[in-house]
Amino acid sequence: MLGIEETAYYIPEKRVSNFNRKEKFGIGDEFIRNKIGVEEIAVKSDLENTSDMCIAAYKKLKEKIEINNQDIDVVIVVTQNPDYSIPQTSAILHGVLGFKDECASFDISLGCSGFVYGLSVITSFMKANKFKKGLLFTADPYSKIVDPADKNTSLLFGDAATVTLITENPVFIAQDFVFGTNGACYKDLICENNTLYMNGRGIANFAIKIVPKDILALLERNNLEKEDIDKYLIHQGSKFIVDSLSKKIGLDESKVMYDISLYGNTVSSSIPILIEKIIKDESVDLALGSGFGVGLSWANVLLKRVR
């Protein structure tokens, strides 16, 4: 039985305060705290690349659990902002960290839904190939592509990386998944000429329209009521989006996690950061993760604690 044994994350120390940019963008404290819900964003240093952030996350993982690098069978990196277009970032990690030659490595090009997709891919890939241990990384440093003068993106996105250890000794297993795509709206979140553009209203409308019904469908398919879920790990797009989704579904606010005010929307890393915060919490038996964004793409997962 393959699943999540441990997870860790790395968030750069550098911060940019949104309060210091109020005059520049014509916004107030209310907008910062209760609309976007991001008081400051984390920004990597100019010397850090995507692989460096992944390595920093892996070092934190090894502080939490003993890992022999030679036991790793597969390394997957979810990113749309790699070190290079060629080769894959997972190969760079393989070389720097010294994994065995027989270790598979590949990248997945997905954004905010990427962790949930990646979790399905790595567990299925490992099962098909009889692998024992794998690493799923997420890292999308949007500071590479965000225009500092763009209010829609520069106030929102922060840099982070995560790594999730997948083994036969899991704390959480993925009980079920739901996926979806609306490719007709791909231009609502797009990078052209190395600059990110986001139709904030379009993304919000998409999330509020599509995500709730798929979350409810996932629950119904598993004979669960929304009250049966101990924690909802909704992609931390913004406070407005998380609050709007919660209200539309009718969730207990105490069960909906929100924790990006001091670092920002970390794209594919937002859900695994939340998992790290509950993995040792024995009161959480069932958690539901929901990622949505770039593509437009969405993916939901039901996580069950192994007892």
Give the tens place of pLDDT for each residue, 210-222: 999 999 999 999 9
Distance of CA 200 to the CA centre of its chain: 19
Backbone CA torsion sign across 106, 49, 69, 115: negative
Are 82 and 53 spatial neighbours (Cβ–Cβ below 8 Å)? no
Tokens of 138: 């997420």
Judged by DSSP in three states, 71 sits in helix
pLDDT band at residue 82 using 50, 70 and 90 as cut-offs: very high
- At residue 234 the predicted structure's pLDDT band, cuts being 50, 70 and 90, is very high
- 288, 301 in Cβ contact below 8 A? yes
Q: What percent of the chain has pLDDT over 70?
A: 100
Instruction: Please report the pLDDT score of residue 115 as a whole number.
Output: 99
Mean pLDDT on 198-227: 94
At 130 the pLDDT is 98
Count the residues in the chain. Answer: 307
Three-state DSSP at 150 gives coil
pLDDT band at 168 (very low <50, low <70, confident <90, very high): very high
Question: Is cis: bond before 302, omega within 30 of 0?
Answer: no
Are the CB atoms for 260 and 158 separated by under 8 Å? yes
* 242-276 tens-digit pLDDT: 999 999 999 999 999 999 999 999 999 999 999 99
Q: Are 44 and 159 in contact (CB under 8 A)?
A: yes
Per-residue confidence (pLDDT) for residue 111, from 0 to 100: 96
Span 189-209, mean pLDDT? 92
As given in the structure block, the two tokens for residue 142 are: 């949007």
Q: Count CB atoms within 10 A of the CB of residue 217.
A: 12
* pLDDT score for 173: 98
Q: What is the pTM of this model?
A: 0.96
Classify strands 297-305 and 134-139 as parallel, antiparallel or unpaired. unpaired
d(Cα 75, Cα 72) in Å, to the nearest integer?
Answer: 8
Domains of the chain: 3-169 (3.40.47.10), 173-305 (3.40.47.10)
Tell me the one-letter amino acid at 4.
I
Strands 40-42, 189-192: pairing is: unpaired
